[in-house]
Structure 1
């Protein structure tokens, strides 16, 4: 069976995975994900009509968000999960249809997205390959639809986390449903989709702001924190992904158990929140970015809890120690469900940890983070003075994702080569390429300011806008800030669209431009926004430092 997926940076030959994903996703799963998205588009179209007559269902809003999130790269590899999710989607879709028809709404009987049906799993698997992204024949329309869809996938991840903490915004749900329904509209032109791309970025900013509010209202504002990267001599659990609520529940349930908890990957920024510092068994951070987990999970010795994306197919040497929760899944690993009260019972993983050896130390020392917008704005006067005095000549935003490609060593070399009067602003797992370098500080300001997870790129935007005001500038592009963004998956796509919607121009993007950008769409981004691909450290240094 063939597939087609080009949503991540590592897609085969920079064109698209057609047999099996570089991520490890098999063709059957890729196609089922496409069918799930197609059905979600149908639900979105119906739910918009239901909203107009006052019968909108929150169940549909949440289902769309969870469904989209499950299709982000490195989230869920489980065929059975997607078959079940598709069945649930069809049942929910038909329920909304029934409600609309009872209310007197006339529905299009020829609309496949809202009418397709199945009798068996075989019917589902037969339809799945027919509704993927290649069903859109026009290269430019397909490219623009992909750009919107992947932005929506990133938005779904951030909205999901906000919802988990009790924060929601109906206008975000409504926009997502409007955008999904427009992906089915063959009357829209390329110009219409360009407008939708920028709207997706605008709503991405709103969604990241909502998640920022949810995180800081629940756990306090991140603060400057020195995080240990060594180990203690206790059995432990490693938590990876992004979900802070899962971490909160795990820390509560491991308190007094003799089991330590370490963060991994994009969970590192949890160390910066005041709320979590009250737990003495919250030990530190273990390891690096997501792609190194096949080595680091083995040496950790204890069980690992995967809370969101960033899972890679686990090796047999540690597969029995991997637990999944939320939208994460992989055949053969244990799954921890959420109860009706929204709580999760982590007893099994805790008892498992007690039987394991303590983690094997792989590095020592500490790293410093916690420079989200609230903390940086407290340093605003100090930063402005340093800029005015010439001590800081330029800020370089190096946010985004890390990945396996050897070409990503570019980001380490770029950071190392930057003049000592530059400061790196970062968020996301891209920071692992340089957050352990000894780059020093400028008048007490560290030269790497880590705002947090990929969604905390919002903090970098807030910081830039505050500096624009502090210097009395009219245009954000007049600031001494350059953008050298690394991307891997769909949340980084949303971050890019968010920056474009804020008017940021001349962003360098790498290590390659997205495969889903057609030549014409790439030209629009280059001509209108100054998007450029990275080249080599020396040449890019000249461009980005002016």
Structure 2
């Protein structure tokens, strides 16, 4: 059985995974994900018809759409049986929306009329007819823009999910999922139509990231500069990876007084800066680096691990008995903790940590600084502006994004190291692990490296840039600011669409360009926004600074 997937940066040969996903996704799971997306397009068709009639769609359907989209994002869910459940539920929802939509006086696309079979094997057979490359005659630019829209929607689904679990939702965001999904079934849409829809997605995702920022800060306070331990402490421990701050908070509550140290990992590092999370003394530090190092870092580890969202890799046998998933995340035969009546019981995770005993001694302490979200940075804006006007700060570099294992990503380390001492580095997402443990010194009272947060905190970076542009009475593109971005999966796609929809230009992007972007679409992006593939750190630095 073969597959085809090219949604992530590490896709095989830079063209597409056809035997096995580089991420670890097998052809069976790939097929079921394709079929789920096909059903979601059918949901989108009926959902859009309902919205056009001025009717509303219930919040349970909104939640299913965002969760199902999120489940197909790279490195999230690898469990075939969970996808069969999603497919069965998607079909029921599609049929319910079909009834609610009423009479439709136009040709109904196949995805909206599709009836699911009863077995997983039949579902996999059907999936072969509906995958990315199923329609061999489809114009490659149309395919490219449709896939760009789908992957952007997957990324936005992750952010919408995180906001939703904290009680924040927005009808504009919710409703755009139906509009975007329906658009991929509409053969009457031109290249210009689809391009404009991708730009609209960028605008809607900006609203979604703002919503998530409001949810996180409303629940846990504004991030503040905080030193974080990055070395081991003696005793039992649990490592928490992913993005879900609510899961972390519940675990902190359930482990109080139990003698268990809690470490963040990967994208969870910014949690240490939130007042309502860092008040727990047993949130002791951050363990390890970016997601792609987890197999090595978790190997035979004497503690338990909780994966709250992506990025999950295939667990090695040496720690498969001590890694737990929750929420959207899944791997076959790995313990999964479900939410029951709005709460999660982490007892099995806690018991495993106590059983394993943890590290036997303390390491010599080392710390890094996090917590430079928009609230903190903008509170210092007068001093920053003065430093720029005096010539103390010559340039700002935003260096960050999704990290990955492909060779060539050392570019971002080299670039950070080559930044002149009169420049400031803003960084976010797991791309920062390439250099965030290095000492870049200070400019006056400002650390040269300012950790803005995780990938959804791109909203903070944009807000900072817009505020500086307002202060200097110029366009964002006229600021002494350069964006050096890495991408890996679909959250990075929707962030890029957001930046482009705000007409932010001259972005350096790497380590490779997306395989799903056709040459013609790429040329439009280059012509319109001057997107630049990274070359080498020295040459790009010279081009930027002159």
Shorter-chain TM band: over 0.9
Post-superposition offset of 1:172: 0.7
Q: Hey, what does 2:89 align to over in structure 1?
A: 88
Residues 146-157 of structure 1: pairs in structure 2 closer than 5 A: 146-157=147-158
Q: Hey, what does 1:357 align to over in structure 2?
A: 357
Counterpart Cα distance in 2 of 1:20 and 1:120: 23
Go from structure 1 to structure 2 and tell me whether the alpha carbon gap of 1:306 and 1:110 turns closer, same or farther (over 3 Å shift).
closer
Q: Which moved more, 1:236-245 or 1:298-307?
A: 298-307
Q: Which runs of 5+ in 1 are unaligned?
A: none
Counterpart Cα distance in 2 of 1:11 and 1:359: 37
SS at match of 1:335: strand
Go from structure 1 to structure 2 and tell me whether the alpha carbon gap of 1:224 and 1:470 turns closer, same or farther (over 3 Å shift).
same
Q: Hey, what does 1:532 align to over in structure 2?
A: 532
Q: Hey, what does 1:390 align to over in structure 2?
A: 391
Q: Hey, what does 1:450 align to over in structure 2?
A: 451
Go from structure 1 to structure 2 and tell me whether the alpha carbon gap of 1:163 and 1:280 turns closer, same or farther (over 3 Å shift).
same
Counterpart Cα distance in 2 of 1:377 and 1:529: 27
Q: Hey, what does 2:116 align to over in structure 1?
A: 117
Post-superposition offset of 1:108: 4.9
Post-superposition offset of 1:83: 1.2
Go from structure 1 to structure 2 and tell me whether the alpha carbon gap of 1:308 and 1:63 turns closer, same or farther (over 3 Å shift).
same
SS at match of 1:130: coil
Post-superposition offset of 1:46: 1.1
Q: Hey, what does 1:23 align to over in structure 2?
A: 23
Residues 59-74 of structure 1: pairs in structure 2 closer than 5 A: 59-74=60-75
> Do the aligned residues in 1 keep the contact of 2:271 with 2:278 (CA within 8 Å)?
no
> Do the aligned residues in 2 keep the contact of 1:3 with 1:27 (CA within 8 Å)?
yes
Q: Hey, what does 2:189 align to over in structure 1?
A: 188
Q: Could you report, residue by residue, the CA deviation over 1:234-288 in whole angstroms, capped at 9, with x for unpaired residues?
A: 2011000000010010000001111111100000000110001221111110000
Q: Which runs of 5+ in 2 are unaligned?
A: none
Counterpart Cα distance in 1 of 2:319 and 2:118: 39
Counterpart Cα distance in 2 of 1:493 and 1:112: 25
Go from structure 1 to structure 2 and tell me whether the alpha carbon gap of 1:299 and 1:391 turns closer, same or farther (over 3 Å shift).
farther
Post-superposition offset of 1:112: 3.3
Q: Hey, what does 2:487 align to over in structure 1?
A: 487
Q: Hey, what does 2:282 align to over in structure 1?
A: 281
Counterpart Cα distance in 2 of 1:109 and 1:180: 14
Counterpart Cα distance in 2 of 1:430 and 1:120: 41
Q: Hey, what does 1:459 align to over in structure 2?
A: 460
Q: Hey, what does 1:249 align to over in structure 2?
A: 250
Q: Hey, what does 1:373 align to over in structure 2?
A: 374
Counterpart Cα distance in 2 of 1:357 and 1:28: 38
Counterpart Cα distance in 2 of 1:58 and 1:155: 17
Query: Size of the alignment, in residue pairs?
Result: 542
Residues 223-238 of structure 1: pairs in structure 2 closer than 5 A: 223-238=224-239
Counterpart Cα distance in 2 of 1:315 and 1:277: 31
Counterpart Cα distance in 2 of 1:68 and 1:164: 16
Go from structure 1 to structure 2 and tell me whether the alpha carbon gap of 1:272 and 1:110 turns closer, same or farther (over 3 Å shift).
closer
RMSD over aligned CA atoms reads 1.5
Residues 152-231 of structure 1: pairs in structure 2 closer than 5 A: 152-231=153-232
2:427 paired with 1:426: yes
Go from structure 1 to structure 2 and tell me whether the alpha carbon gap of 1:510 and 1:363 turns closer, same or farther (over 3 Å shift).
farther
Post-superposition offset of 1:100: 3.5
Post-superposition offset of 1:41: 1.1
Counterpart Cα distance in 2 of 1:90 and 1:112: 10
> Do the aligned residues in 2 keep the contact of 1:43 with 1:60 (CA within 8 Å)?
no
SS at match of 1:261: strand
Q: Hey, what does 2:130 align to over in structure 1?
A: 131
Q: Could you report, residue by residue, the CA deviation over 1:449-484 in whole angstroms, capped at 9, with x for unpaired residues?
A: 1111100011000000000011111x1100000111
2:281 paired with 1:313: no
SS at match of 2:400: coil
> Do the aligned residues in 1 keep the contact of 2:128 with 2:134 (CA within 8 Å)?
no
Counterpart Cα distance in 1 of 2:22 and 2:377: 38
Post-superposition offset of 1:113: 3.0
Post-superposition offset of 1:105: 5.3
Q: Could you report, residue by residue, the CA deviation over 1:368-416 in whole angstroms, capped at 9, with x for unpaired residues?
A: 0100000000111111111111111100111201111221111111111
Counterpart Cα distance in 2 of 1:59 and 1:44: 15
Q: TM-score with structure 1 length normalisation? A: 0.97
Go from structure 1 to structure 2 and tell me whether the alpha carbon gap of 1:132 and 1:329 turns closer, same or farther (over 3 Å shift).
same
Go from structure 1 to structure 2 and tell me whether the alpha carbon gap of 1:127 and 1:502 turns closer, same or farther (over 3 Å shift).
same
Go from structure 1 to structure 2 and tell me whether the alpha carbon gap of 1:2 and 1:197 turns closer, same or farther (over 3 Å shift).
same
> Do the aligned residues in 2 keep the contact of 1:43 with 1:114 (CA within 8 Å)?
no
> Do the aligned residues in 2 keep the contact of 1:264 with 1:288 (CA within 8 Å)?
yes
> Do the aligned residues in 1 keep the contact of 2:109 with 2:185 (CA within 8 Å)?
no
Counterpart Cα distance in 1 of 2:321 and 2:328: 19
Q: Hey, what does 1:32 align to over in structure 2?
A: 32
Q: TM-score with structure 2 length normalisation? A: 0.97
Counterpart Cα distance in 2 of 1:107 and 1:411: 51
